[in-house]
Amino acid sequence: MKFAILVNEGPYNHQASDSAYQFAKAAIDKGHRVSRIFFYHDGVNNATRLTEPPQDDRHIVNRWTKLAEEQSVDLVVCVAAALRRGLVEENLAPGFRISGLGQLVEAGIQSDRLVTFGD
């Protein structure tokens, strides 16, 4: 099965990002394909390279980057939501790219399922 994922919440203020990451990993481990993960609303904060969690905490941004590198998952950040939150291309973590809502629509059309995490 081919999945697309929508993440609407930030990495440290809601469980949605952790759940989305765990879902993506589990789907891939079971032989499914995760074609694109789209970050929208506060979810765009998952893409900032400026995140520095304490050493004893998980580094969610690095998890996404590693997933993109190892599994060729397309990590797309909504341009309008990013700009509203001061996130610009220069501050993106590796593996992420900025684009428009058309990428979310395309992912929904081309996938068997679009799974949403967060409000």
What SS3 state is found at 32?
coil
Q: In whole angstroms, give the CA distance from residue 53 to residue 49.
A: 11
As a whole number of Å, the end-to-end CA separation of the chain is 24
Please identify every residue annotated as catalytic: 78
